[in-house]
Amino acid sequence: MKPTRHVVRSYHTGTTLWAVEVEGVTKTFSLNESGSLVQRLRGRAQSRTVHALRAVSFTIRPREIFGVLGPNGSGKSTLIRILSTLIIPDEGQARVFGHDVVREDLAVKRLINRVSVEAAFFKKLSPVENLLYGARLYGLSGREARERIYAILRRLGVRESSYTRPMEEMSRGMQQKVAIARAFLTSPVLLLLDEPTTGLDPRSKREVQALVRELRETHDATIILTTHDMNEAEALCDRIAILDEGRIVALDTPEALKARVARPGVVPTMEDVFLALTGKQLNDRGDVLSPATSTR
């Protein structure tokens, strides 16, 4: 893939250039409970406040792969939506290469791309048609776009016979690959990956992970990866923030996090780290199985 270079305004705090800076970001949501039929008819349905993020702060260096590890409902996706300018924090600030995500949202949008588990497509169109549409929005010419589209799809292991099939006929995993291809197509300065390998088989996961590393090495991209996959976080990330109930409970390199919970004669895993720091265990979908009775 031919590199696409972006002009990024330098942003210095002291002597450090931050790719991302998050300071005291808080976000709450009010959810309406259904209540009884009589309560709904009288407009008295109950509501509850959900604290998605609670005073979250961290910084990310350029070219860093930064992981956010946590169960479903921990605030991972809310954080990604704030950084991608889709929602506004209630308190605190977030900046992408010095651009405030609220006041300078258009500048931020030019620097980022995002992959989420609920990626949207034109379902009647094929992968190539969807990707060509996205490429035109970013100013790529037809010939250049096609060359890059085919290269990325091949890199992700998408069969050529699927290139022209309608998206609605494709599996969930195949659709996710197209979503990843769309994000990689523009070689963003900051790539936001919100559980990108959910629904993919082990081989496809490895292909995506290899492409993430390649994007960092060949395009100088900074990458934020949210996941509940402990092995994926350890394999890809330079540093990992563990998010639980809207708070960062730990932030360090995978090796340093494991050293915090190490015991004589036992080599800890990231699952051991998560269990020790949060008291929770997760299943393969990121759901909490049960409160831990000990921190092993």
**At 81, which CATH number?**
3.40.50.300
From first to last of its 296 residues, the chain has per-residue pLDDT tens of 443 444 444 444 444 589 999 999 999 998 765 555 555 556 665 677 889 999 999 999 999 999 999 888 899 999 999 999 999 999 999 999 999 999 999 999 989 988 887 767 888 999 999 999 888 877 777 788 888 899 989 888 888 888 999 998 988 778 888 888 888 887 789 999 998 887 788 888 888 888 888 888 887 889 999 988 888 999 999 999 999 999 999 999 999 999 999 888 888 899 999 999 888 787 766 677 755 444 33
Position 166 in a domain: yes
State which residues form the domain around 172.
12-31+48-251
For residues 177 and 245, give the distance between their C-alpha atoms in angstroms, rounded to a whole number.
30
**Total number of domains constituting the chain:** 1
Position 1 in a domain: no
pLDDT at res. 36: 54
pTM of the model: 0.81
DSSP string, 21-62: EEEEEEEEEEEE----HHHHHTT---EEEEEEEEEEEEEE-T
Position 113 in a domain: yes
Classify residue 255 by burial, with Cβ atoms within 10 Å: 0-12, 13-18, 19+.
Answer: exposed
Position 192 in a domain: yes
Position 40 in a domain: no
**DSSP secondary structure letter of residue 196:** T
Position 261 in a domain: no
Position 156 in a domain: yes
Cβ(22)–Cβ(59) below 8 Å: yes
Give the closest residue to 220 by CA, choosing from 21, 17, 65, 20: 65
* Residue located via tokens 């190490």: 262
Classify 98 as helix, strand or coil. Answer: coil
Position 282 in a domain: no
Classify residue 182 by burial, with Cβ atoms within 10 Å: 0-12, 13-18, 19+.
Answer: buried
